[in-house]
C-alpha cells in the first residue's frame, strides 16, 4: 500500500474529506496497518502534504466558527462561545499563519518621549501651564544628585 504512488494523495483526501474527515489513526485502523509505522511514514515522508491537510482542516474550523456564530441565539450563546473558542484554538494550532493572534514589535531604538505638563503656582496673570515634551530616562541613568521629579 505505501509503495502505491496514490497512497499519499488518498491519505490527504481522507484527512480533509468535508463529509467526514479521518485522523491518521482511523485511516491506519481502516487499512489494517500498524498505526505507529503508518503515522511515522506519513508525517515524515509526506510532511508537506500533512501540513497542508492540517491547514485545510484549520480553514474548515474557521468556517464552522462563522456558521456557529451566525446561528447563535440567546439560549445557545454560552455553548457556542465554548465551541468557537475550542475550534479557534485548534485552527490556530493547525494554521498559525491565519488564525494565531498577531503581535507586532516596533523597536526603533529611540528613547520614549512623554508629554509632561508642569503646573506652577498661579502668577498675577493667572495660571501658567507649560507643555513641552521631555525625554524620560530609565532610573538607572538618572544621577542620585538629580532625581527625576514629575
**Contacts of 46 by beta carbon, 8 Å cutoff, 6+ apart:** 8, 11, 12
User: How many domains, in total, are found in the chain?
Assistant: 1
SS3 30: helix
Query: What average pLDDT does range 112-134 have in this prediction?
Result: 56
Using pLDDT thresholds of 50, 70 and 90, give the confidence band for residue 139: low
Residue 28 inside a domain? The answer is: no
Q: Provide the domain limits for residue 66.
A: 58-102
Residue 93 inside a domain? The answer is: yes
CA distances from 96 to 58, 64, 125 (A): 9, 17, 62
Q: What pLDDT, in 10s, does the model give residues 33-53?
A: 999 999 999 999 999 999 999
Residue 22 inside a domain? The answer is: no
Strand segments, DSSP code E, in 5-60 are none
C-alpha cell of residue 79: 455553548
Query: What average pLDDT does range 122-143 have in this prediction?
Result: 54
**Which residue bears the cell 467526514?**
20
Checking if the pLDDT of 25 tops 90, the result is: yes
Checking if the pLDDT of 23 tops 80, the result is: yes
Residue 122 inside a domain? The answer is: no
For residue 114, list its beta bridge partners: 134
Residue 117 inside a domain? The answer is: no
pTM of the model: 0.57
Checking if the pLDDT of 27 tops 90, the result is: yes
Q: What angle do CA 43, 48, 51 make, to 5 degrees?
A: 75
Residue 86 inside a domain? The answer is: yes
Using pLDDT thresholds of 50, 70 and 90, give the confidence band for residue 133: low
DSSP letter, residue 110: P
Residue 94 inside a domain? The answer is: yes
Residue 83 inside a domain? The answer is: yes
Amino acid at each position: 500500500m505505501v509503495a502505491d504512488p496514490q497512497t499519499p494523495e488518498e491519505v490527504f483526501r481522507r484527512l480533509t474529506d468535508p463529509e467526514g474527515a479521518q485522523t491518521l489513526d482511523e485511516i491506519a485502523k481502516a487499512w489494517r496497518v500498524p498505526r505507529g509505522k503508518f503515522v511515522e511514514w506519513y508525517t515524515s515522508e509526506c510532511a508537506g502534504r500533512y501540513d497542508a491537510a492540517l491547514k485545510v482542516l484549520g480553514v474548515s474550523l474557521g468556517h464552522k466558527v462563522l456558521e456557529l456564530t451566525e446561528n447563535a441565539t440567546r439560549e445557545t450563546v454560552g455553548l457556542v462561545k465554548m465551541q468557537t473558542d475550542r475550534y479557534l484554538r485548534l485552527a490556530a494550532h493547525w494554521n498559525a499563519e491565519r488564525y494565531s493572534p498577531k503581535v507586532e514589535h516596533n523597536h526603533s531604538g529611540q528613547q520614549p518621549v512623554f508629554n509632561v505638563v508642569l503646573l506652577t503656582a498661579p502668577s498675577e496673570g493667572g495660571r501658567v501651564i507649560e507643555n513641552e515634551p521631555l525625554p524620560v530616562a530609565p532610573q538607572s541613568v538618572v544621577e542620585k544628585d538629580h532625581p527625576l521629579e514629575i
